[in-house]
Structure 1
Amino acid sequence: MRAPTGSVVGLCSASATMSAMGMAFLGYWGVHEPVPWRAGDIVVVCLVFLGFLALGATILIITSPTADGSERIGPARRAFAAGLLMMWSAVIVAIVPW
């Protein structure tokens, strides 16, 4: 198996960075507040957790070995884009007053 270069390292580090930013967002946003949750709060948390799932899947997809030794950069990029969109959608839903 080849040493990871280029897109593999880039996608792994970008996915880890976005996961850290998602955790910081949850801490800053107030998921720990004692007030009752509204429907918008549940949407935000669900979007963030789905984003975490997609970002974690990015690393799993890009680093898993294949039978012929090829890399699966395309599916990993799509998983990263989905996670990124879900994270930013959560931020927008949290900011926009309902």
Structure 2
Amino acid sequence: MHEFQTHLWIVVFVATAGNTLGALITYGMGRLIPNKKQEARSLELLKKYGPITLLFSWLPIVGDGFCLGAGWLRINFWRSFLLILLGKFVRYLVLAAVSLHMFS
């Protein structure tokens, strides 16, 4: 495997791990919020579409709201973890594929 490709895979895995950890911290912060009415757009989407919304936790602005809302709504941690991880991995996989195409 070309050295660039090897480094790209390392970047994908490190970026996915770091970004997922950050999202899980946000999820944990959501668990600390008392059950009070909250009307954030991301929370509305999370209530409407359920945990699958966490696949889009990589989106700017609303993505953090999805993670926070998932914690606040007490969505199962492991389900949340897997959906967040998958969404973020696919994001970095796409970015890596684009980079590989651009720099190969």
TM-score range, shorter chain: 0.3 to 0.5
Structure number with the higher helix fraction is 2
Q: State the TM-score, normalizing by the size of structure 2.
A: 0.41
Q: State the TM-score, normalizing by the size of structure 1.
A: 0.43
